[in-house]
Chain A
Amino acid sequence: MANPQWPAAEQRQHLGKRISRLDGPVKCTGAAKYTYDIHRDGLLYAKLVGSRIAAGIVNSIDTSAAEKLPGVQGVWKDESLIGKEVQYAGQILAAVAARTEEIADEAARLVKVEYTPATPQVDDTDPARADGKPATREEGDVATALSQAATVFEGAYGLPVVCHCCLEAHGQVSEAKNGEMYLWGSTQSVSSYAKGLHEDVGLTLDKMHVECQYIGGGFGSKFSYDKWGVISAKLSQLTGMPVKLMLDRDLELMVAGNRPSASAKVKVGLDGNGKITAFDAEVWGTGGKDGYKPPPMPYVFTKIPNHRENGLRIPTNRGSQRAWRAPGHPQGCLLTMAALDDAAAAIKMDALEFFKKNLDLTERREVYAAQLDIAADLINYKEKAHLRGESGPGPLKRGLGISLHQWGGMGHQSECDVTINPDGSVETKIGTQDLGTGTRTTVTIVVAETLGLPLEGVTLKMGKNEYPASGASGGSTTIGGVSASSRLAATAALNALLEVVAPKLGAAPDQLEARDGQIRAVGDSSKAIAWKGACSLLGTQSITKRGTNVPGESQKMGLIDGGVGGVQIAEVTVDTETGCVTMNEMVAVQDCGLIVDLKTAESQVHSGLIMGITYALYEEAVYDPTTGRMLNADMEFYRLAGIKDVGQFKVHMMTGAGYDERGVIGLGEPPVISPGAAISNAVANAIGVRVPRLPLTPDRVLMALQQGTGQDAPTTNGGLA
């Protein structure tokens, strides 16, 4: 009998090897069909009308002119908002569906909305604007510890609201047909996508058919069907035609999700040896009109004996926050690591020495110690490092910056069916989605590994809600979830096959294994039968087995785990005349348990680094205080890093003994957490002063240089720019 535990390293056929993603050929030839690409006969194009004001009352929505435009087939307006308050600019008020996209565009502009505007509130940096009860956590006695500390460093830091900016905008194609609803949603959650939406369109859940084979980015913003999903489906019901509704770029950036901002005043207390004794943080930020969860602080160094976080929420007339790759962590990481790095600089201690000295205040002392050594080696820290500001003469200053991060990444609930057919074909069905992380490839690898087959021997069907339900792809939970469920399903199916084959081979089922396209007795090559021949013994009866990942149970079996650490070091060059920051190199050392596909795993780390560089140097949703509108709701001025902006990378995955045994752990979030802090620390190391807020744009760098910061401790860093 096969058991579901992962095979030992020397027995792995596919697992952990460098395997090219299986959907590479369709993606790089344009053959992959995303929601945006779905075409149906008679397709109508829908466009949304968003509020022009950020605050005030909607008096009326008049769609009559739009309705009269030739080619317009249907209009929708949100009657429930008439006479009500607008929460933010871009809030969806109406929609039109027309025969062509051009006509829909024109019709949307003909929708007339009357408002009574009010003064919007979009400032998220002034803590005086906070409302509600502060969220306070305290362990130990921070006030006393600070009063007794040998050194107290105080600094202020911040990160702005940033957008998800998925290249495929949010949206859905809907086709209401014969009492059924067919939906192509750009979603991170195929299995649960239609739940709730079915009520909005008056259908039972079994009438809702969801498909998403390819998705052009989600990053945490595409779990829900959203208001536009409802509008798209309703317009299809209204017109009797299929409807494609995709957000235009400006609405995408304004209303389809963002990462909440965070600003903090931090106090760090050190003893005479540079050990951290106290950490005190006042944190505030906005997630739009509604809730705000202060980022976790102190981050990673959670065992600082005396620590306190006081979180304040600032309501703003901005689009609502959504989960953004590693929710809360990039913010908590920057606010913590920058303050600790500043504290080290204040006592003129090397940052690497400082972090190492304090690793007993983390949950993973040994992991981080090993990772810091590897990262330092990879970037040649010994040779390149210098104390803050000691960068030598000349306008170009080079610096190194360190950051540590952590994440969970335990697999989510997941079900999977594996079918072995008498003709030897194998079909896997799972209601998951591939965000580009490589899910399609890794599920295939797990099933092929389990059955001893080449990858081509396994067919995978996914991306539909008719398949066994699998969790939403968020929080790095997918790889663990689907690896466990597909491993369990394939193992169960194989065991059923072994029962049938055993008599033929004259061996007990528990002495058989599936390897190299054969079923054979362990250690006796004379008792073997080719896979196809073995399957033909099934006669006319296929085997289908379901595997269910129950996270706690799979963890006990060693299939999956959660909880990882990582270390990154950035090297930058800063031009002190222009304020421009150039990325030279980043090294990332990451723990992620057992790796299923080394190639796509490394891509995940690269991806995290690049997305991290982007928010460290470029990204910020800029709002106009007068109109409350987002000023850079396009891709010209909402900047993403280009290919020239990212520098070189070295990635080291912590694999092998001590790591593999933990099973599979998610990798999507961890590498995106540290870059902001590592790069900010590198810039401070280079130019001798802290640039307090991300993104580290030339104006902010120059302002920090102008204001300057003495290197004497204790000190402050000059407040928020």
Chain B
Amino acid sequence: MKVSRDRMGAGISRRGFLKGVGAGTAAAGLLTGAPPPGAAALDAAHTPKVLAPGESEISLKINGAVQKVAVEPRTTLLDALRNRLDITGAKKVCDRATCGACTVLVDGSPVYSCTMLALEAEGREITTVEGLGTPENLAPIQQAFINHDAQQCGFCTPGFVVASTALLQKFPNPTREQVQAGLGGNLCRCGTYAGMVDAVLEAAKGGA
């Protein structure tokens, strides 16, 4: 393997990208917009539709609704959500997978949407903070954040709420240490950690 220098996105080599078939099923997905699952059985005779460069329309399933959006291959999921679909709960802060402010769920797992390409997200279930609850109909974790004042400026809060949701799905009755580990991929500048652990523990209790 001499692809490390040329890696583009998750597990995609430049060679695989150019060929569009063969080694990477995800590479096929990247080129064609076709869903990766089962693509290993792709017909060798199938000629992928080349999308790049420029914008192409893809479909993203966001908070249960399919939305069409024109993206470039280099457009991140975060930029597709924020700039093209006006879904702005996920924030751009570090823009390199450090701070977690852009966290969304992709097929139920927390993902830094600043470092996932929009094309990679096609055919997958994307859940943003807006999909968890609304101001009028709060999810228990959101209510718990309010109860424990686990927010100040609030810019990091959507990321923490999404990360907490993923954490509680994995550990319905977490310990304090599990909560701290689960939220260790998110950063807050105002200093609102004090209420967060209690908020997650309260939401866990409420959900049990």
Asked if A102 and B74 sit within 8 Å, CB to CB, the answer is yes
Asked if A30 and B88 sit within 8 Å, CB to CB, the answer is yes
List, in ascending order, chain A residues with CB within 8 A of B157's CB. Answer: 27-28
Asked if A25 and B142 sit within 8 Å, CB to CB, the answer is yes
Asked if A643 and B184 sit within 8 Å, CB to CB, the answer is yes
Name the interface residues of B122-172: CB closer than 8 Å to any CB of A: 128-130, 132-136, 138, 142, 145-147, 149, 151-158, 161
Closest beta carbon of chain B to A341's beta carbon, Å: 24
Flag whether B10 is at the interface (Cβ < 8 A): no
Asked if A249 and B142 sit within 8 Å, CB to CB, the answer is no
- The answer for the CA separation of A610 and B194 in the assembled complex, in Å, is 9
Asked if A29 and B129 sit within 8 Å, CB to CB, the answer is yes
Flag whether A360 is at the interface (Cβ < 8 A): no
List, in ascending order, chain A residues with CB within 8 A of B158's CB. Answer: 28-30
Asked if A31 and B149 sit within 8 Å, CB to CB, the answer is no
- The answer for the CA separation of A437 and B128 in the assembled complex, in Å, is 26
- The answer for the CA separation of A21 and B135 in the assembled complex, in Å, is 13
Contact with A along B73-85 (1 / 0, CB 8 A): 0110001001100
Asked if A642 and B82 sit within 8 Å, CB to CB, the answer is no
Indicate which residue in B72, B134, B186, B187 contacts A102 across the interface (CB closer than 8 Å).
B72
Closest beta carbon of chain B to A525's beta carbon, Å: 35
Asked if A217 and B155 sit within 8 Å, CB to CB, the answer is yes
Closest beta carbon of chain B to A37's beta carbon, Å: 4
Indicate which residue in A21, A168, A249 contacts B151 across the interface (CB closer than 8 Å).
A21
- The answer for the CA separation of A249 and B72 in the assembled complex, in Å, is 22
- The answer for the CA separation of A167 and B190 in the assembled complex, in Å, is 9
Asked if A216 and B134 sit within 8 Å, CB to CB, the answer is no
Asked if B151 and A436 sit within 8 Å, CB to CB, the answer is yes
- The answer for the CA separation of A635 and B101 in the assembled complex, in Å, is 12
Flag whether B96 is at the interface (Cβ < 8 A): yes
Asked if A29 and B154 sit within 8 Å, CB to CB, the answer is no
List, in ascending order, chain B residues with CB within 8 A of A34's CB. Answer: 91, 155
Q: A102-B75, A643-B197 are in contact. Are A25 and B135 (CB under 8 A)?
A: yes
Flag whether B20 is at the interface (Cβ < 8 A): no
- The answer for the CA separation of A599 and B74 in the assembled complex, in Å, is 44
Q: Which of A153-161, A175-183, A600-608 contacts B (4 or more CB under 8 A)?
A: A600-608
Q: A101-B79, A643-B197 are in contact. Are A31 and B134 (CB under 8 A)?
A: yes
Interface of A is mostly: loop
Flag whether A611 is at the interface (Cβ < 8 A): yes
Asked if A168 and B155 sit within 8 Å, CB to CB, the answer is yes
Asked if A606 and B99 sit within 8 Å, CB to CB, the answer is no
List, in ascending order, chain B residues with CB within 8 A of A354's CB. Answer: none
Asked if B145 and A39 sit within 8 Å, CB to CB, the answer is no
- The answer for the CA separation of A642 and B186 in the assembled complex, in Å, is 7
Indicate which residue in B95, B154, B181 contacts A214 across the interface (CB closer than 8 Å).
B154
Flag whether B50 is at the interface (Cβ < 8 A): no
Most buried by A among B130, B153, B156: B153
Asked if B151 and A24 sit within 8 Å, CB to CB, the answer is yes
Flag whether A137 is at the interface (Cβ < 8 A): no
Of all chain A residues, which has the CB nearest B151? Answer: A27
Q: A21-B149, A636-B98 are in contact. Are A28 and B189 (CB under 8 A)?
A: no
List, in ascending order, chain B residues with CB within 8 A of A635's CB. Answer: 93-94, 96, 98-99, 187
List, in ascending order, chain B residues with CB within 8 A of A363's CB. Answer: none
Asked if A33 and B88 sit within 8 Å, CB to CB, the answer is yes
Closest beta carbon of chain A to B138's beta carbon, Å: 6
- The answer for the CA separation of A517 and B187 in the assembled complex, in Å, is 43
List, in ascending order, chain B residues with CB within 8 A of A217's CB. Answer: 153, 155, 189-190
Flag whether A76 is at the interface (Cβ < 8 A): no
Asked if B194 and A28 sit within 8 Å, CB to CB, the answer is no
Asked if B147 and A608 sit within 8 Å, CB to CB, the answer is no
List, in ascending order, chain A residues with CB within 8 A of B82's CB. Answer: 37
- The answer for the CA separation of A168 and B130 in the assembled complex, in Å, is 19
List, in ascending order, chain B residues with CB within 8 A of A100's CB. Answer: 72, 75, 83
Asked if A216 and B142 sit within 8 Å, CB to CB, the answer is no
Asked if B154 and A23 sit within 8 Å, CB to CB, the answer is yes
Closest beta carbon of chain B to A419's beta carbon, Å: 25
Contact with A along B42-81 (1 / 0, CB 8 A): 0000000000000000000000000000001011000100
- The answer for the CA separation of A111 and B161 in the assembled complex, in Å, is 40
Asked if A167 and B101 sit within 8 Å, CB to CB, the answer is yes
Asked if A436 and B79 sit within 8 Å, CB to CB, the answer is no
Interface of B is mostly: loop
Flag whether A86 is at the interface (Cβ < 8 A): no
- The answer for the CA separation of A79 and B136 in the assembled complex, in Å, is 51
Most buried by A among B82, B155, B187, B195: B155
Flag whether A649 is at the interface (Cβ < 8 A): yes
Q: A102-B79, A168-B153 are in contact. Are A30 and B187 (CB under 8 A)?
A: no
Flag whether A609 is at the interface (Cβ < 8 A): yes
- The answer for the CA separation of A217 and B191 in the assembled complex, in Å, is 11
Q: A610-B191, A642-B184 are in contact. Are A28 and B155 (CB under 8 A)?
A: no
Q: A25-B142, A31-B135, A217-B190 are in contact. Are A634 and B153 (CB under 8 A)?
A: no
Flag whether A657 is at the interface (Cβ < 8 A): no
Asked if A101 and B151 sit within 8 Å, CB to CB, the answer is no
Flag whether A215 is at the interface (Cβ < 8 A): yes
List, in ascending order, chain A residues with CB within 8 A of B136's CB. Answer: 25
List, in ascending order, chain A residues with CB within 8 A of B193's CB. Answer: 606, 610, 641-643, 646
Flag whether B192 is at the interface (Cβ < 8 A): yes
List, in ascending order, chain A residues with CB within 8 A of B188's CB. Answer: 167, 610, 640, 643
- The answer for the CA separation of A271 and B66 in the assembled complex, in Å, is 77
Asked if A21 and B191 sit within 8 Å, CB to CB, the answer is no
Name the interface residues of A626-644: CB closer than 8 Å to any CB of B: 634-636, 640-644
- The answer for the CA separation of A174 and B30 in the assembled complex, in Å, is 35
Closest beta carbon of chain B to A69's beta carbon, Å: 12
- The answer for the CA separation of A216 and B158 in the assembled complex, in Å, is 12
Name the interface residues of A587-609: CB closer than 8 Å to any CB of B: 599-600, 602-603, 606-609
Of all chain A residues, which has the CB nearest B158? Answer: A30
Asked if A30 and B89 sit within 8 Å, CB to CB, the answer is yes
Contact with B along A164-176 (1 / 0, CB 8 A): 0111110000000
Most buried by B among A26, A167, A649: A167
Name the interface residues of A110-166: CB closer than 8 Å to any CB of B: 165-166
Closest beta carbon of chain B to A14's beta carbon, Å: 16
Flag whether B183 is at the interface (Cβ < 8 A): yes
Closest beta carbon of chain A to B164's beta carbon, Å: 10
Asked if B189 and A640 sit within 8 Å, CB to CB, the answer is yes
List, in ascending order, chain A residues with CB within 8 A of B201's CB. Answer: none
List, in ascending order, chain B residues with CB within 8 A of A603's CB. Answer: 149, 152, 192, 194-195
7 nearest interchain CB pairs? A30-B89, A610-B191, A216-B155, A27-B154, A436-B153, A436-B152, A24-B146
Query: Can you list 23 A-B contacts with CB-CB less than 8 angstroms, sorted by A residue number?
Result: A23-B154, A24-B145, A25-B142, A28-B154, A28-B157, A30-B90, A31-B135, A33-B88, A36-B88, A36-B91, A36-B92, A102-B74, A169-B93, A215-B153, A216-B153, A216-B155, A436-B190, A635-B187, A642-B184, A643-B183, A643-B193, A644-B180, A646-B193
Additional A-B contact list (15), CB under 8 Å, known A217-B153, A436-B152: A27-B154, A29-B134, A30-B89, A30-B130, A33-B88, A37-B88, A166-B189, A216-B91, A609-B191, A610-B188, A610-B193, A611-B189, A635-B187, A636-B94, A640-B188
